[in-house]
Amino acid sequence: MAHVQVNQLFKKYGELQVVHGVDFEIGDGEFTVLVGPSGCGKSTILRMIAGLESVTSGDIVINERVVNDIPPRDRDIAMVFQDYALYPHMSVRQNLGFGLKMRNASKVEIDEAVRRTADTLQIGALLHRKPGQLSGGQRQRVAIGRAIAREPQLFLFDEPLSNLDAKLRVEMRTQIKRLHMSFQVTSIYVTHDQTEAMTLADRIVVLRDGRIEQVGTPDDLYSRPANRFVAGFIGSPTMNFIDARLVAEGDTLWVEPTGGPRLSVPAERVGRYRPHAGRQITLGMRPEDFTNTWTDESRAASSAVPLDVTVDIAEPLGSDTLIFGRIGEAEIVCRVTAVAAPPRGAVMRLNAHMNHMHLFESDSGVAL
């Protein structure tokens, strides 16, 4: 198992700089997800860790050894590619055993590893087939099998599920999680899908334009986003951002959405936000922080305040209903317990859970 450090990593393609000084560290057995929008440099970073791409400057350290100039084959890693990259001219059995064969394992060892891997992934019946004769999901399993058969110190995944249909993707996601729980091998997983990131990761590195926006556990990113970008990236539907003003009146602090009703800031946050009183800020509220079911006690306990929302559209999802509506000038989405769809223009009284509120500086987007 491996401990990985990435120090001040830079990457340039010619004149184009795509990674701008990235630092993070991955503990033994940890599952880390690199997430960010398309083109932010996730794959590039992963490929530098794999040794497939040269490092412009900075260090990649695996188990206290700087590996910058060490070829991929000597890094003791395995990688699952987005297009699976199964060797088309070899059978599934040969694909699974290839890494061990290249490392001069004995025939007995290889057979044993192939059998074990095939059992784990339930692909025993496919061993004699060529990759061309497999379905997408089966290829995916074989690709993962090829990585685990060799028992490397470090797994790298580059969007391994993006070519699967929605249902299979969820299945394989669980499968990967299960594999990680049983083998506990250090893993780095690249995706642009925040759900995959949230469900799989011990730790998430959020990237944008080749820079780290935030590193943290899924809960850190969800509950305490460092800035508006992370807040908007994590969670679905995305967080509501509402232009507002922070108003102080004696000991109480209010958030006043432009053209909307004022909302009181819970007592435990007042100290933190007080210095910003009088400023124009952005209020962040997640769709699930508006509810339509409450009792007076629960409302008091969660510092929830009643809020009237003018409904535009309601989208029933079965268990929940998404309400697209307005407060003041701002458009918001609320995820409430299933209700009969209210007509357009109706006013719904919802509960805004202000203890989950986020405030961001209007221009920089930094969390206050």
Partner 1 sequence: MTTLGRTRLADVGTYVAFGVICLFFAGPLLWLVSLSIRTSAEIYVSSINLWPNNPTLENYVAALNNPLFPTYLWNGLKLAVGGAFGAIFFAAPAAYALSRFRFRNKQLAMIGLLAVQMISPLVIMVPLYRYMDRIGLTDSHVGAMMLYIAIAAPLFTWMLKGFLDGIPRSLEEAAMIDGCTRFGAFMRVVLPLSLPGLTSAFVLNAILGWSQFIIPFILISKPNLLPIAVGIFNFQGTYSQTSTQTLAAASVISIVPAVVVFLVLQRFIIGALMSGAVKG
Ligand X SMILES: Nc1ncnc2c1ncn2[C@@H]1O[C@H](COP(=O)(O)OP(=O)(O)OP(=O)(O)O)[C@@H](O)[C@H]1O
Q: What is the dihedral of CA 92, 96, 102, 104, to 10 degrees?
A: -110
Beta bridge mates, 65: 62
Cβ at position 148, least distance to ligand X in Å: 23
CA distance 17 to 210: 8
- Binding segment (CB under 5 A) for Mg ion, from list 35-43, 88-96, 315-323, 351-359: 35-43
52 vs 339 by CB, closer to partner 1: 52
- Binding segment (CB under 6 A) for ligand X, from list 10-18, 168-176, 265-273, 278-286: 10-18
CA distance 194 to 338: 24
Which tokens is 11 given?
Answer: 């990457």
Task: Rule CB under 6 A: say whether 278 interacts with ligand X.
Answer: no
Largest pairwise CA distance in the chain: 79
For Mg ion (CB under 5 A), the number of binding residues is 1
In degrees and rounded to multiples of 5, residue 56 shows phi and psi of -75, -50
Cβ at position 42, least distance to Mg ion in Å: 5
Long-range pairs for 219-225 at CB < 8 Å and ≥24 separation? 222/198, 223/356, 224/367, 225/284, 225/358, 225/367
Q: Which does 336 bind (CB under 5 to 8 A by kind): Mg ion, ligand X, partner 1, none?
A: none
Task: Rule CB under 5 A: say whether 43 interacts with Mg ion.
Answer: yes
Cβ at position 93, least distance to ligand X in Å: 31
Cβ at position 259, least distance to Mg ion in Å: 42
Cβ at position 40, least distance to Mg ion in Å: 9
- Nearest CA to 77 out of 190, 200, 202, 188 is that of 188
**Which H or E run contains 268?**
helix 267-273
Compose the 171-210 pattern: x for residues touching ligand X by CB under 6 A, - for all others.
---------------------x------------------
- Nearest CA to 364 out of 281, 267, 259, 265 is that of 281
Q: Tell me which of 44, 117, 214, 302 binds ligand X, using CB under 6 A.
A: 44
Q: Which does 50 bind (CB under 5 to 8 A by kind): Mg ion, partner 1, ligand X, none?
A: partner 1
Task: Rule CB under 5 A: say whether 95 interacts with Mg ion.
Answer: no
CA distance 217 to 204: 6
Task: Rule CB under 5 A: say whether 321 interacts with Mg ion.
Answer: no
| Cβ-contact 295, 304 below 8 angstroms | no
Interface contacts to partner 1, rule CB under 8 A: 50-52, 71-73, 75, 77-79, 81-83, 85, 87-89, 98-99, 102-103, 146, 150
CA distance 18 to 10: 8
192 vs 358 by CB, closer to Mg ion: 192
Residue 75 Ramachandran class (φ > 0 left, ψ -120 to 50 alpha, else beta): alpha
Task: Rule CB under 6 A: say whether 139 interacts with ligand X.
Answer: no
Cβ at position 240, least distance to partner 1 in Å: 40
Amino acid type, 185: V
43 vs 302 by CB, closer to Mg ion: 43
For ligand X (CB under 6 A), the number of binding residues is 12
77 vs 265 by CB, closer to partner 1: 77
Q: Which positions lie near Mg ion, rule CB under 5 A?
A: 43
Q: Which positions lie near ligand X, rule CB under 6 A?
A: 13, 16, 18, 36, 38-44, 192
